[in-house]
Structure 1
């Protein structure tokens, strides 16, 4: 019984040491707090882990699509492609493509194109860009895919910006 109480207390104090779990997502996601602040210091892995921890443990994680996207981006910035793809793939599925209108379709191809870059599938990224140019409005996400394609020989963290 003492062991169970001790484990529960350890879990509680571990959670209590993470005050960002209590923040509303708008605060957690702001430029002056939490994962973005850590990322600005170049600590992309730590930033990704903080986001994942927030998704799993915070009752305030409202927009999990956005959080998963940013976790994927941070893992990609840290050079951890496998983890990046895992979280980015949680942000889209075929329903976006078929039922999401132009915005949903654009997001589907943007996320899928980003995954193609991380997985080093240049042909797939090129097909997505070609399709987008013919079928969808050219927007910032399209431009980001073109930038990734034009910086193919670079790592994501250097190609993205």
Structure 2
């Protein structure tokens, strides 16, 4: 997976607004619409662009309660880790899940309609799982920044 300075510019543009037309993106990146479409297709096929998504407000869709949950596993065996990753992927309450280093093994971003719903989720997701040693919940007071934009630097010209 390699990209050049023009690809980097396209990536900056689509991370801010992926609903722009190829004509507009091309104009901003200094390309024709056709050349821009070719580059976007390649960036997607090479998985440099992983997905085209919209960021939805949890409050607007009835899930105003947001938590960060630090999860510590009983043991760090690959089968246990893989099983928990699968559970994370299949849970609608878990919006983002990260396998991390440090004191916790996983960090989860969870949303719920009410605290009662979150409590029910913890019983179903954490308490019945014998592989989980502990979990710590931090309630989000204010979502200061949300997004998936990654800083993209143009590769150096050699």
Q: What TM-score do the two structures reach when normalised by structure 2?
A: 0.32
Greater C-alpha Rg: 2
Q: What TM-score do the two structures reach when normalised by structure 1?
A: 0.32
More strand by percentage: 2
Larger relative contact order (CA 8 Å, sep ≥ 6) = 2
